Amino acid sequence: MDYIRKIPLLLGAGAGLIIGLIGLSAGVPNKENMLNMCVGMVIFYMVGILIRSTVKGIAEQAMEMIKKKEEEEKRREKEKNRIEDQKENEESLGASIDMTVGDESELPDDDNFDDLPIAEFIKNELE
């Protein structure tokens, strides 16, 4: 991020250096060459400011999107954990339910079971 902050200065200085070297090699008088360098430095400094603001805006949006994705994943994870906890609670509640009604002492034994008189009547009639 440090280079992003220095973009306007680097562009302006680079443009001034290049314009000055081109002017010296072309044989432009020094006064006119200095004016061309100053104008070029100002223009490229402004272009650097535009580039810096654009890059910072993109970086902020990217960080914001990353933060939103992390929050969304945390929310999904919490929701998933909550659903799993509910399932575990339902399973533990279902396992602890006693399905018997009354005591076992109330159930009739096979030895003490008496047939109804109707059953005896049917047996006698069929024989």
**Is the pLDDT score of 102 beyond 80?**
no
**Is the pLDDT score of 95 beyond 80?**
no
Q: Backbone phi, then psi, for 97, in 5-degree steps?
A: -75, 130
**Is the pLDDT score of 51 beyond 90?**
yes
Torsion, Cα of 113, 117, 120, 126 (10° steps): -140
What's the whole-number mean pLDDT along residues 26-47?
A: 95
Position 86 confidence tier, pLDDT thresholds 50, 70, 90: confident
